[in-house]
Amino acid sequence: DGGITQSPKYLFRKEGQNVTLSCEQNLNHDAMYWYRQDPGQGLRLIYYSQIVNDFQKGDIAEGYSVSREKKESFPLTVTSAQKNPTAFYLCASSIASGGYNEQFFGPGTRLTVL
């Protein structure tokens, strides 16, 4: 059963804590992405990776970090430097980078800062 998974579905964080959101895909896709979704706004790109051991900052990378040690995995760490982290986080993958390639999205993680 191929697909892209994210965990956990819901995550609660105290202020000052770092948290890591998991994203795994078994689609054999090279490219992976992290987006943030806030009410009334379009998705905003946090980080993307075109290939293993490589990643690039998106439009709103401040306060976030990623790694891409394996093709299947692209975890996102929300650090205490992120001033307003409460949001819905979406991970996506595509067979290769480039706008014509369909992005497949995971089910999302809703992060709430208490």
Partner 1 sequence: KNQVEQSPQSLIILEGKNCTLQCNYTVSPFSNLRWYKQDTGRGPVSLTIMTFSENTKSNGRYTATLDADTKQSSLHITASQLSDSASYICVVTPGREYNFNKFYFGSGTKLNVKP
Residues that bind partner 1 (CB under 8 A): 4, 31, 33, 40-45, 48, 50, 56, 90, 92, 97-100, 102-103, 105-108, 110
The minimum distance between CB 16 and partner 1, in angstroms, equals 27
Instruction: Kindly tell me which of 18 and 53 has the beta carbon lying closer to partner 1.
Output: 53
Rounded Cα distance, 71 and 53, in Å: 9
Instruction: Kindly tell me which of 8 and 107 has the beta carbon lying closer to partner 1.
Output: 107
The H or E element that residue 7 is part of is strand 4-7
Tokens encoding 36 = 């943030």
The minimum distance between CB 81 and partner 1, in angstroms, equals 24
Instruction: Kindly tell me which of 82 and 94 has the beta carbon lying closer to partner 1.
Output: 94
Instruction: Kindly tell me which of 51 and 81 has the beta carbon lying closer to partner 1.
Output: 51
The minimum distance between CB 105 and partner 1, in angstroms, equals 3
Contact 110, 11 (CB under 8 A): yes
Q: Find the length of the chain.
A: 114
Pick from 107, 40, 54, 47: nearest CA to 78: 47
Residue 87 one-letter amino acid:
A
